[in-house]
Amino acid sequence: MELRWVCAVLLVLPGAWGECPQPPRFAFAEPLTPPEQSYAVGATQRYRCRPGYTVARDKAPVVTCLDNSTWSENPDFCIGKSCGPVDIPNGKFNYTTNLLFGATITYTCDLGYRLIGKSSAKCVLGNNEVVWDSNPYCEIIPCLPPPVIKNGQVTDGDRDFTFGMAVTYSCNKGFSLIGDATIHCMTDDNLNGVWSSPAPECKVVRCKNPEVKNGKKLSGFGTEHTYKNSVTFECKPGYLLNGSNVVTCEAENTWKPPLPTCDPIFCGPAPHFPFAELTSTVGNSSLAETKLSYRCKPGYTAASGKTSVVTCLIDKTWSADPDFCIRQQCTPPTIANGDVIADNFLFETVVTFTCHPGYELKESSSAKCVVSGNGVDWDTAPPYCERELPDILCEEPPTIDNGMHNGTKGRDFGHGSVVVYKCSDGFSLVGAALLQCVAGDQYGGVWSKPAPECRGGANMIIVGIFPLLLAMLIMNV
């Protein structure tokens, strides 16, 4: 009943213009004097800050009744006191608003430390002062003592083990340490310490002496092979390594990766060359690295800077210098008053000869460079060019007294022409009856012999002279 009455009064009161109702209430302050029912315009009400608060700088803890019957606004004239920053070794705190009365901070620890206590604190009142209501601390994260192992020990094992510390194991003589020799204290959840890996094991490890057929060891020659010992292999020439060339003795007394094999590589039949032949017979298949010797066929000679050795490569092909034999060359022929027509003078080349104009080629008009003894030579002696003579003509054969020749007048008497002389009856021929047209000293032709003579018989002379003498005698008488 009474409450309902009070409400009615509160609703009615503001109606009175020129007066203020009860002054405002604040969480941070309380009226210094008990509030009254109404205040005249201009009246003030002073406050005092509640515990945990203090008067804000440049503000007065007072409100005034204004003309329009409202209280002057003077917000936050008391503010919370500051709990201040906290010093938390190996950690830090965080806040969203401020460090004042009522604020909350959260604590976090540095890596390797864990928070002991409440992770948040509130700025609260205690003994009339503001204080953080919890004061946790950061503790370094501990690890359990490192595990004890058989046949080995941890060095420096008697102490506290905390985040970041490392311990190292060693094995007794004759035992191999399998795993990480050194482990360190770490954390997965920022609360509990764990060792970075399981403790190593100390075991007796022995791997069998590794043998690779057609291979040889390049390292790891001993016969005792223990943990982590490595052996390096190489295959003999002609064999290809299949697998890893390095194997390591692992904890299970086995080599890893598995031992390689050396697999043979073969090339096919020896290659054929038009210019060379094998120096020995070779089967249809040869192991890689096999070297075959060739010699140049007759007419060919080894090319300088090239090898006549052909090798079976690991890609199963034969390697050969291209054209390792080259054709031998015949001495370039010469011909006086003529030309040699040829691109080159190499083995099996045919050269042809021509003569300059006015000369005639004698002997073979071509020659071929062929094998001759250990080398090459022309298959025929070179020809020669002979001066071509103009037609040899003789003059008409000379006429003789008391005789004639059978040469027809006006005909040409060429080289070799023959005329025969004959004397008239009663005359006898003195000299050669047969003349032939032969080449003279100069270009023309001459008769081989002087023309013969036809002489009268001795009786004729007597017959001729005697009557004359007779007549002379008669006339003298």
Ligand X SMILES: *[C@@H]1O[C@H](CO)[C@@H](O)[C@H](O)[C@H]1NC(C)=O
CA atoms within 13 A on the CB side of 447: 19
Taking the complex as a whole, how short is the minimal distance between the CB of residue 258 and ligand X, in angstroms?
Answer: 9
Nearest of 94, 86, 251 to residue 178 by alpha carbon: 251
Residue 174 or 283 with smaller CB distance to ligand X? 283
> For the residues of 187-247, what is the DSSP string, one character each?
ESSSSSEEESSPPPEEE---BPPP--TTEEEEE---S-B-TT-EEEEEEPTTEEEES-SEE
Instruction: Return the structure tokens found at 39.
Output: 């205040």
DSSP 8-state assignment for residue 36: P
Site map (CB under 6 A) of ligand X, residues 104-143, x = contact: ----x-----------------------------------
Phi, psi dihedral angles at 2 (to 5 degrees):
-65, -40
Please state the separation of Cα 11 from the chain's center in Å.
98
Taking the complex as a whole, how short is the minimal distance between the CB of residue 411 and ligand X, in angstroms?
Answer: 7
Instruction: Return the residues of window 288-307 that contact ligand X according to CB under 6 A.
Output: none
How many other C-beta atoms are found inside a 10 Å radius of the C-beta of residue 326? 16
Q: Which of 33, 279, 317, 406 binds ligand X (CB under 6 A)?
A: 406
* Cα–Cα distances in angstroms (integers) from residue 310 to residues 182, 272, 289, in the given order: 57, 11, 10
Q: Determine, following the binding rule CB under 6 A, whether residue 361 of this chain makes contact with ligand X.
A: no
Residue 275 or 413 with smaller CB distance to ligand X? 413
Q: Which of 263, 315, 388, 391 binds ligand X (CB under 6 A)?
A: 263
For residue 9, the SS3 value is helix
The stretch near ligand X (CB under 6 A) out of 318-326, 357-365, 371-379, 400-408 is: 400-408
Instruction: With beta carbons less than 8 A apart as the criterion, state whether 271 and 263 touch.
Output: no
Q: Which of 172, 219, 242, 459 binds ligand X (CB under 6 A)?
A: 242
Instruction: Return the residues of window 65-94 that contact ligand X according to CB under 6 A.
Output: 66, 68, 70, 94
Q: Which of 37, 96, 442, 476 binds ligand X (CB under 6 A)?
A: 96
Residue 20 or 296 with smaller CB distance to ligand X? 20
Instruction: Return the residues of window 177-206 that contact ligand X according to CB under 6 A.
Output: none
Binding footprint of ligand X on the chain (CB under 6 A):
66, 68, 70, 94, 96, 108, 242, 263, 283-284, 406-408, 418-420
